[in-house]
Chain A
Amino acid sequence: MSTHDGQDDADDHDELRDLVAAAAFDAVTPAERERVTRHLGGCAECAAETDRLRETVRLLDVPPGEGTGPHGPAPWWSTEESGSEDVVAGLFHGRRHTWRTSRPQATEVAAHAAVYAGAVAALTALLPHVDVRWGYDRWKVPVVHDWNVQATLAHLLAADEQLAVELGVEPRVPPSPAVRDETWEAYWNRRTADTIRHELAHAAELTRHAWQSQTAALLATPEAHDAERAARPVELMGMRLPVADHFAVRAFETWIHTDDIGRALGLHVPPPPAPHLERLVRLAAGVLGQALGPGTPPVRFTVTGIGVWTLGAPAVPVRAELALEPVDFCFLAGGRRAPDTVPHRATGDAAAVRDVLERTASLAWL
């Protein structure tokens, strides 16, 4: 039996060496503590180690600070919780130095424009990361197409401008010369190129300022605060939609380019919060339904957790079923996923499924 015990001891020793440290942190179960104690009785090496590690934890427990309370040092466990509103109020209302380094909340607007206000807040929070690092100006980091960060922001400035001008906001960039009988696409291509050229000719900080002041002006329009006024349909970039939906289109593009910039900087940009994402998905699904029209084979289309639509001809039975996750669907519609590689689940007529995926990718919003 003694040989058997000896083998157990050797196994114990190897296994318990790590457990000894966890026990010194009191991060073990009572049963494991019991095992450690039994082992220490017969193992001088582990006992010495335990003494050393316990002394280390004891010293960690000694508060390194002397304390400055009016009645002497407070014990660390006396946690008088202050209400969360104290700290949060302090952050926003300038107690001590915090407000200077802080950032504003998303602009408060009506529900239909909140998705755009959120996207603007997310990009605003990302821009401080576009700094000079290791002597390299990160405004010049390549982002997407042949745009760097500054050009991407200039492109957003031009795209937002279409809605801004419609709502009576003054353009930030001198007007492009008029061309007779120009299609909206030709004008838009010219305008975004002019805007990018104009912005790249000066400091990135000015582009940031122009984008920020234009987004603020857009969010200050009556249409951003009044759902009734935002119900007015307007044709922009070839799409006739209520102003409320145009705010969502602006949010969509702002998010996609924020994600582009985040990737370029090595930062993960989370997708919009669930209610915002739902609004974007519903809008994109509606546009997709119109693009497919009644002449295409019927497909039952699901965006997980958000909705189910029948696309194409309003006939039953459907020829195929297709389901995508919300973010994948948005990235596909935004040109950031390819129809043949985007994760999806499908059954039925493969050609009908492919048609829906390809049509989604060709919505060409961005």
Chain B
Amino acid sequence: MVVPVDPTDADTDGAAGAGRARARPAADAELHGRLVYGDASALAETYAVYGGLVRRIALRVTRSPAAVEDIAQEVFTELWSRPYAFDARRGSLRTWLSMLAHRRAVDWVRHEARHRKAAPADDSALHTLPDAAPGPVETVMDRERSLLLHSALAELPPSQREVVHLAYFAGRTYREAAAELGIPEGTAKTRLRTALRRLAETLADPPEPSLGRGA
């Protein structure tokens, strides 16, 4: 009955084969059951398996080691304190945690950006600027456009978002992502394209809040 957690799966950088992905739903259900029934060791095990992925996403989006700690703690606290928010029959813990980490990281960056705009540019702030010349204008613009894209990514329909997360953050091929999600390979490929085209459109158009076109 007990499906042991595969510790080798902690490596989420992309070398994983589709065969390994098949073992996860049972392991996810087992971990999730123990979380629901108040077993804190299951939280430590979940962190051992997925903590690296959550931290990588947080660092990739925020570039702030301090934010990484906060976001990882927020994500795993949410899993622990509201375990019924995850349903092992509807998706994998990997994509659920990955999407939650990304959303929290984007929120963090948005909050920082608002904070910077709101803060008056006083002398002490100027003095703390690094000696090196600030990056070229393109860098600042790129960063703004990147935030726009990541915000749009966080708002994609879940069916598209989970494929993007597996392909982009977890380094899966679209075939591996399809196997992990239990969907046809062609569907995974089409969802990736629909998602990426929609992200590309947000660069051309102002962001639109209405969503709903499925893949």
Are A269 and B192 neighbours in the complex by a CB distance under 8 Å?
no
Are B197 and A53 neighbours in the complex by a CB distance under 8 Å?
yes
Chain A contacts with B in 56-89, Cβ cutoff 8 A: 56-57, 59-69, 72-82, 84-85, 87-88
Are A102 and B81 neighbours in the complex by a CB distance under 8 Å?
yes
Task: Give Cα A68 to B130, complex, Å.
Answer: 12
Are B55 and A29 neighbours in the complex by a CB distance under 8 Å?
no
Are B55 and A81 neighbours in the complex by a CB distance under 8 Å?
yes
How large, as a class, is the contact surface on chain A? Answer: 35 or more
With known contacts A21-B197, A22-B192, A98-B77, A65–B61 Cβ distance under 8 A: yes
User: Nearest CB to that of B198 among chain A residues?
Assistant: A56
Instruction: List the A side residues contacting B60 at CB < 8 Å.
Output: 63, 76-77
Are B51 and A80 neighbours in the complex by a CB distance under 8 Å?
no
Question: Among the listed stretches A114-122, A189-197, A200-208, which one makes contact with chain B, having 4 or more residues with CB under 8 Å of it?
Answer: A114-122
Proximity bits, A269-307, B CB within 8 Å = 1, else 0 = 111111111100000000000000000000000000110
Tally B residues with Cβ within 8 Å of A: 80
With known contacts A25-B164, A59-B142, A274-B2, A68–B67 Cβ distance under 8 A: yes
A345 at the interface (CB under 8 A from B): no
Tally A-B pairs: CB < 8 A. 231
Question: Among the listed stretches A123-131, A133-141, A142-150, which one makes contact with chain B, having 4 or more residues with CB under 8 Å of it?
Answer: A123-131
Instruction: List the A side residues contacting B175 at CB < 8 Å.
Output: 29
Are B108 and A65 neighbours in the complex by a CB distance under 8 Å?
yes
A262 at the interface (CB under 8 A from B): yes
Question: Among the listed stretches A103-111, A163-171, A311-319, A350-358, which one makes contact with chain B, having 4 or more residues with CB under 8 Å of it?
Answer: A103-111
Are A59 and B192 neighbours in the complex by a CB distance under 8 Å?
no
Are A84 and B44 neighbours in the complex by a CB distance under 8 Å?
yes
From residue B100, how far is it (CB to closest CB) to chain A in Å?
14
Are B73 and A87 neighbours in the complex by a CB distance under 8 Å?
yes
Task: Give Cα A196 to B142, complex, Å.
Answer: 62
Instruction: List the A side residues contacting B190 at CB < 8 Å.
Output: 18
Instruction: List the B side residues contacting A306 at CB < 8 Å.
Output: 1
Are B199 and A81 neighbours in the complex by a CB distance under 8 Å?
no
Are B64 and A67 neighbours in the complex by a CB distance under 8 Å?
yes
Task: Give Cα A82 to B197, complex, Å.
Answer: 37
8 new A-B contacts at CB < 8 Å, known A21-B195, A103-B81: A25-B167, A53-B196, A87-B51, A87-B76, A98-B74, A121-B38, A124-B38, A268-B89
Please, could you name 11 A-B residue pairs with CB atoms under 8 Å apart, sorted by A?
A29-B173, A29-B175, A57-B168, A76-B59, A79-B59, A121-B37, A125-B82, A268-B84, A268-B89, A270-B36, A273-B37
